[in-house]
Structure formats: C-alpha cells, structure tokens
Homo-oligomer: A and B are copies of this chain.
C-alpha cells in the first residue's frame, strides 16, 4: 500500500504595504493556528467569534491550539445564517471583544463562513477604531473570497452589505480539511466564486475547472490548487485597488443581479444562498452582455453548462417559491451600491475571462432584459 502523501500547504501574500498579510491554505491549519498566530502577533489575548454550526466541530480544537501557544481566548457563538449580519448581532460581538479587554496587539478571530467573517471583521474594524483581526474561514466561499481583501460589514433593511468598513485581517488561515463537513450545497455555492475568477480574467483557469471540477469537489491537491489560485487572483485585485475605486469592482461579476435575487428572496437561505445568487447572476451577466452585442451567446451557454454540471442553479426559475416582478428586482438593483448619479454600474463581459466595468448601463435595458428572463 502506498503511503498517503499529505498535500502541501500553500501561501499567498496580500501586498498592502505595512498592512500586508499571509493567507495560508492547507490541511491541519486549525490545529496549527496557535503556532501560526503566536509567531506573527505579540498579543496573547483573543476573542473568537463563530456560529452554531461551526462551533461544535472546530471551536474546541481552535481554542486548544491557541491555549497550547499561551493565548488566552474567550469565545462567542452566534446563530448561523445571513440574518446574523445585522446590528442586532454586531452589538454583542463588540461587547464580547471589549469585555475580553483585547488590547492593541491582541486580536479578534473569526471562525466560520462569510457571515461570521464579515460581521466579526466589521466589529474588529470599529472596536477602538480598529483592532487586529484574524480570519479562520471554514466555508469554501469564505476561503476563496470573503476572508481576503478587508471588506467587512452587515446588511441593512435597505440592502446587503450597505454598512461596514474596510479592515484588513492580519492573517488568514484556510484549513482545507474543514470543508469536508460543509454541506454539498454550500460547497457548490462557494465554487461559484471560484469559477468567477476564471470568468473575470483567467480563461485558462476556467477551462481547467471545466476539466477538473470533480477533483476539486473530491478534495486533496486539486482543491487546494483551486483555492490557492482563487486567493492569488483576489489578492492581486485587492493589492491593485484596495478601496474599490476601479478594477476591484470586477469582483462583483454576477453580484448585482445576485444581490437583487438575495433581497427578493429575503435572504432566506433555504431558498437561495449567496453563491447561488452569484451563479445565476453570472449567467445573467453573460446573457445580458450577449444581448448588448458585447459577447457571443455561446459564452453564456458555456458558463451555464459548467455551473449546471456542478449542480448550481443558473436561472431565476431555479429558485423555489415566488419571485417578485422584474420592476421590484430593478429597484433592488438601483439601491445596490454600484450606482452613480442614477446611472447603473455593471460588470459586463466580452467573453469568458474578459470582464470589464461598464458604468453607463441604461436602466431601461436592464429592466427589459429582466422582464424577458422573468415574465410574471
């Protein structure tokens, strides 16, 4: 019998001057967290924020690892789900951090998916006008996207992610072992963001995914490779445009439509999770680009075929239950943050891996397209 070779750990550096940090990607990183943190940070007090799905599996191993490195940590377990990204839950998180008497060199740790990461990062960003922050992302989406780049925040009744700050982590520990306990549905949702990097500007990576997605889903080296390529892609965009004044907007490919669908389904994750909205949104963005004669309809079909193959929803009709009419979706789009002086900013594409920022998309075109795709 051959000995099982442990896949190698990967490291991606996010270059942001004196706020640069490492993303470590590989197996066993929760067990190694104490060592990795203690070698980088001087503080020995931490507050760990997590959710009720992640806590039973990974909180104890993380606390034990911190303890072994002499780090004294308190923890707070929140309900799971998008609704946790709210002022209601932000307040106790701030209280827990302050109650733990976290000082300048200590840190706040997010252990969980994008919800816990965004909420905890926001709290870390505002407690004492900015505290150190460590991401331990446990969902695929969080490992390849939300834990990297410093966007943090909560939702408002007016829309998703409308309240928050830019606050970079000091370290990201993406333990790829933990993805085994993620539901297949959540894994697929995170995969939508992986595919996104290919669609933005890496046509070869998209092709690689078309050919290797089964291996990525199965785990091991291909999965680590896909996560590392994704983190590298995001790190480059963030380093070039930290505060989204320009090209960082490309990361929103599929997100304008996706956010509108999330709002339309009232952030009810039984109906739609973020990555699923992004999957449908990316197909819509490619179809809309074809409709505007920017790209070939074949590209939209290719995107849809791949996302469908992995089991993602790709059309508005795939969402169960009633969807509001196109006009209501349009309102959600208009209130989304990518609006300037009434004109719509959209990420459109000239084909696979050729996305671009269009900041003068006529609302009437979008509405017409939505009506066509979603006749009442």
Contacts and interface: CB of A to CB of B under 8 A. Distances in A.
- The complex is assembled from copies of this chain, and their number is 2
A94 B337 CA distance: 14
Interface string A121-157: 0100111111000000000000000000001010011
A17 B91 CA distance: 34
Contacts of A94: 156, 163
A95 interface: yes
Nearest to A43: B341
Given A91-B87, A101-B335, A104-B340, A126 B126 contact: yes
Contacts of A151: 129
Give the dominant DSSP class at A's interface: mixed
Interface residues of A, number: 34
B162 A127 contact: yes
Contacts of A125: 165
A164 interface: yes
Contact of A158 (B95, B122, B153): B95
Give the most central of A87, A90, A129, A164: most B CB within 10 Å: A129
Contact of A156 (B98, B105, B122, B163): B98
A41 to B, nearest CB: 13
B157 A95 contact: yes
A161 to B, nearest CB: 8
Interface in A54-98: 87, 90-91, 94-95, 98
A129 B166 contact: yes
A162 B128 contact: yes
Give the most central of A101, A104, A156, A159: most B CB within 10 Å: A156
B91 A128 contact: no
A88 to B, nearest CB: 9
A99 interface: yes
Interface string A335-352: 101011100000000000
Interface in A101-129: 101, 103-105, 122, 125-129
Nearest to A125: B165
A93 to B, nearest CB: 11
A292 to B, nearest CB: 24
